Structure 1
């Protein structure tokens, strides 16, 4: 497999399921390559594929140091290019200091790495910066003197894992432009944070063909200067529908509707529409229709919802996800005579293992290689706390120590406790039977 070969070169093969290959054309939205299907070089603009993190997890779930380093590189890129927005200025300064420490080492007060600070200028709230902004970044950088590069990378990943948009992939109903992008959307949310509410709507039909927003003349006066279309964010715990409802006359922010995976009954693409059936907070069944720009985008949202639900929420990937496929014309004709033929078969979903399975597999591989992962030491106080806990467990006998180790090994699941399989919703609920006349081939690319 192409992804496996690339990850083996980078020494991240045992945790390659976190990554994917992304096609980034010069115009139009980028898309994830389905690596279970034959690779068609003619459908790859410029013959270039980008290795990117597809499934984001907190850094304490990553076993190998090279994997954490790749997560750091991709997180830094998302921060600088505005796909990941930091709301708090103090947190942004810490992140910039961690990047500088990882890239240049300890700070020299006489000659600080200002080129790194300027490169990271887009991290944090935009607009006019305070006069002491640069001085505080230098102070933060000096405070972490002596920190290893790997520790700085870990701290950065820990900070971004607390962000609300961490691990969320955005799909815009209108093409992405300089004004209609992730950075402007999250900045818009921050600008109108006091007015954002969770609407309770049922049977919603959303046409995302138009763009609305604040005054298009910039951040002077009322408005944040953005022009946004409706977008769908698919994250680790569910989906979020962002509806910009702002104009130059009246600022009313962005309507934001969150739907957890446990509430979803059925999802499917219908030409250009993405349709979702779910339960409201009152227990009523409702339907959400979002009209995307193309049928391929609708299929991409459907694929993202199903794959992320399976990865983050389920114990294992069910066969009705792994075996779901469509056929091209040649395969359809061949299937008339032999229904079991694999000719022209293209799989819809590119997922084989869940988050739990990837983590367990990486731990087994590390144990077999004789390097059982150990908890990372955060600080001296954390080390003292661990020493006291170890002393208590030893004094409590071998059985207590074994139980403590067992609890520690399973504690990683607490952050992603959204398992709809246990809540009565199986992954099959998200996988509507596909028909070649309904589901676009773009969903299986």
Structure 2
């Protein structure tokens, strides 16, 4: 039994065979949540009690010894703009994860006006229309970490209420879509961070992005050298006194962000009140030539803007973090930039001790084989697959509807109610008692002063003259048909 936690803290219990792989577990979760057609956007994350979490490799067997308590988190692994999401349940799961990252500070919004709109969208999706006399203050307080931190203006809550009132009448699904549209424009959208030192309350994504906002002055990117060695063994930080003391209060190590377009190396360079800044180096996927983990080091070779080959070496806290960074770079590059996943990515594997010994005698054995990557489709392939699945579902629903009508007609024919006489009698009865305007709803309105009954309650107010005698209509009166008309099978009563 596996316990899968959703971003809204709801727990799903999933039963899987002892030898099942992670992909089977994810598919069962997505089937319950009705997001199976777009399951490739999601992943299962292992979050141990201490240290950073890691993505479960879905192509390998589930190992209870490496998953504490049998608990996994369902999270969005590959972020895409909301217009690429086909199904409403998928957009809802994206919204839940986005809200979690926003409220816990992992996704930082720099613009205060954008932050207010996001809070208003969350309140509309969670609470509904805003009552200015009783606004959902509890939701506003829950979203306190959204936007630039520090002292807020006095009219901050009032402006959120104004935004909330402006979108009154908006459906919850539409509000969720608007929120996803807002965060898709953020610079850090879809970026996964890897810190060179363990993540703490002072060394995390929220502190890093807040640091970048606090030191907003432009800093030149470091000039590429033939060999850049980044040792993440030490941290640097601003004054511990916080903003009032001349610093932002952060204490960060070097980190690497892996996003949809490339990687970004963040090197905080704070030294008390002097030389406060940050070095931010962006490397696009298109210029990367080679990447590999070497124990604790992550090594990257790329081409600079001048056309020279440069090497980037980042020393991580553990060899597992270096391997996780290598995996993230390879998988995100394949997902966002490639037309299809190449075989040299899907076929990479390592062996454990038993598999290594067995491979000495039989190199083709699968014993102890563990795949390095679990990506199956690219972004384009996932989108096309979801569209085909939605189209096929619409066709199946149409065929089911037609089959249901055919069975209904067959049952009527067996009871003798589908004969020619009954059909003609039914049509004549329907025509006699149907509205003369829409020919659908039953007659239930009397026109005065001509006293003709010719329309239903919806069509009568739109008539200036009687459809039968063309006389002026002074008044409409709702009438009730006798009970025997309701028992007549040839009359439609709605």
TM range (shorter): 0.7 to 0.9
- Equivalent-residue separation in structure 2 for 1:84 and 1:70 (angstroms): 16
**TM-score if structure 2 supplies the norm length?**
0.74
User: 2:329 corresponds to which residue?
Assistant: 305
The 8 Å contact of residues 96 and 117 in structure 1, kept in 2 or not, is answered as yes
Where 2:243 maps in the other structure, the secondary structure is coil
Q: Which of 213, 218, 221 is matched with 1:195 structurally?
A: 218
What is the match of residue 364 of structure 1? Answer: 388
What does residue 189 of structure 2 align with? 166
Secondary structure of the corresponding residue to residue 50 of structure 2: coil
Unaligned runs of 5+ in 1: 373-445
Structure 2 counterpart of 1:263, from 255, 264, 287 = 287
Instruction: Report if aligned partners of 1:195, 1:252 keep a CA contact under 8 Å in 2.
Output: no
Q: Within 2, Cα distance between the matches of 1:196 and 1:295?
A: 31
Which residue of the partner structure matches residue 281 of structure 1?
Answer: 305
Contact 1:315-1:354 within 8 A present in 2 as well: yes
Corresponding residue of 2:338: 314
Q: 2:103: which partner in 1?
A: 80
Establish whether residue 237 from structure 1 lines up as the match of residue 229 from structure 2.
Answer: no
Identify the match of residue 224 of structure 1 among 224, 248, 253: 248
Higher mean alpha-carbon deviation, 251-260 vs 128-137, is at 251-260
Cα distance, 1:201 vs structure 2: 2.1
1:2 to 18, 25, 28: 25
User: Which of residues 315, 318, 334 in structure 2 aligns to 1:291?
Assistant: 315
CA distance in 2, matches of 1:369, 1:195: 51
Please point out which of 1, 10, 26 is paired with 2:49. Answer: 26
1:289-438 mapped onto 2 (5 Å cutoff): 289-370=313-394
2:60 matched residue in structure 1: 37
Structure-2 separation of matches of 1:168 and 1:283:
27
Measured in 2, the distance between the counterparts of 1:313 and 1:283 equals 21
Question: 1:327, 1:188 → 2: CA distance?
Answer: 42
For the residue of structure 1 that corresponds to 2:244, the secondary structure is coil
- The two structures, once aligned, show a CA RMSD in angstroms of 1.0
Using the alignment, how far apart are the partners of 1:103 and 1:84 within structure 2?
Answer: 20
Query: What CA deviation, in whole Å up to 9, does each residue of 1:167-224 have, x standing for no partner?
Result: 0000000111111000010010011121333222221000011111211111113211
Alpha-carbon distance in structure 1 between the residues aligned to 2:219 and 2:265: 12
> How many equivalent residue pairs?
372
- Give the structure, 1 or 2, with the largest relative contact order (CA under 8 Å, sep 6 or more): 1
Q: What is the deviation of 1:371?
A: 7.6
Q: Is the 8 A contact 2:247 2:273 kept in 1?
A: no
Match of 1:68 in 2: 91
Q: Which runs of 5+ in 2 are unaligned?
A: 1-23, 397-494
Q: 2:443 matched to which residue of 1?
A: none
CA distance in 1, matches of 2:69, 2:108: 30
Deviation beyond 2 Å, 4+ runs, structure 1: none
Q: Can you list the C-alpha shifts for 1:15-71, whole angstroms capped at 9, x where unaligned?
A: 000000001111101000001001101111222100000000000000000000000
Partner of 2:18: none
Paired residues of 1:263 and 1:278 also in contact (CA < 8 A):
yes
